Amino acid sequence: MIPARDDPSCHGALDRADLLRADPQALSALWAQSRVLLLDEAGFALADEAGAVFAPLGEQISQGPGGTGAAIFLGLDGERRGWFALDARLTAVEAPGRVDLRTAAAHWSAFHASVYAQARALQHWRSRYRYCNVCAGEIGFERGGWLGRCGQCGQEHYPRTDPAVIVAVTDGERLLLGRQPGWAPRRYSVLAGFVEPGETLEQTVAREVLEESRVRVRACRYLASQPWPFPGQLMLGFIALAHPDPPQVDDELEDARWFTADEVRAASAADSDDGVGLRLSPTISISRWLTDCWLAAMASRSR
């Protein structure tokens, strides 16, 4: 049985209300009673003293340069209240705390973490793509911040999402995990890599696993996805059956090895830094969910 997903990416927090994006007057009318998530130049969300969500109403914010045109319309919540994101430097609003996205995903509600993830990805895109890659003209933003248009040649620009596969690889008895240089001691995760031009997702799975570990994939199956706005990936989760090849690593990974179900289960149950044993990815990541999927499959097989 596949475990239920319990991460912020599973929850469609907002109605993204695409039709409203094309109506500047409607967005302006919505602004005063909308919640506004404020992000600093590093993409951290402003928070209160306890690190909780800080999202004042639009009417409480001095509009600063660009007014609401500088804000990104994120969508409508279940009460049809608007949500926007805005660069905190454009306002006079101050808040005592700052929270990064990983912390928010672990401690905020699924709703607020999902809204923040959406805002963070769009803010990063807008901050990095300010000039046209066709003529180098300056880009202005329309449709609630979701469309960039070159003021010189008229070229349209859209938010970028980079697809990557993330794979729980098994030989039928063990799970293949790897670790990158610089990770915390004993931390291992399932393998992952970006999709290259002209590849199917299945081809990417086989290529990435082979490149990173020299293990040959026999078959794979898609399970689920997770947006990962660090800065703009979409993680496409697979489980793969592979030959029991001995892992060999190059410069991408520091180590890769096969782990038994007992070893992985013990690490999942402990889920703490006790100074010994295997450490898994945090529960907010699809990496951990894929690991739990494999554990659930192994448990059901042994019944």
- Report how far residue 293's alpha carbon sits from residue 295's, in angstroms, rounded to the nearest whole number: 5
- Report how far residue 52's alpha carbon sits from residue 110's, in angstroms, rounded to the nearest whole number: 13
| One CATH from 3.90.79.10, 3.30.450.90, 3.10.520.10, 3.40.50.460 for 162-301 | 3.90.79.10
Average pLDDT on 278-298 reads 94
Per-residue pLDDT at 8 exceeds 50 = no
Report yes or no: 167 and 208 within 8 Å, Cβ to Cβ.
Answer: yes
276 confidence band (pLDDT: 50, 70, 90): low
Taking only the tens place, the pLDDT of each residue in 133-189 is 999 999 999 999 999 999 999 999 999 999 999 999 999 999 999 999 999 999 999
Q: Where are the domains of the chain?
A: 8-128, 131-158, 162-301
- At 229 the pLDDT is 86
- At 164 the pLDDT is 98
pTM of the model: 0.86
- Report how far residue 6's alpha carbon sits from residue 132's, in angstroms, rounded to the nearest whole number: 39
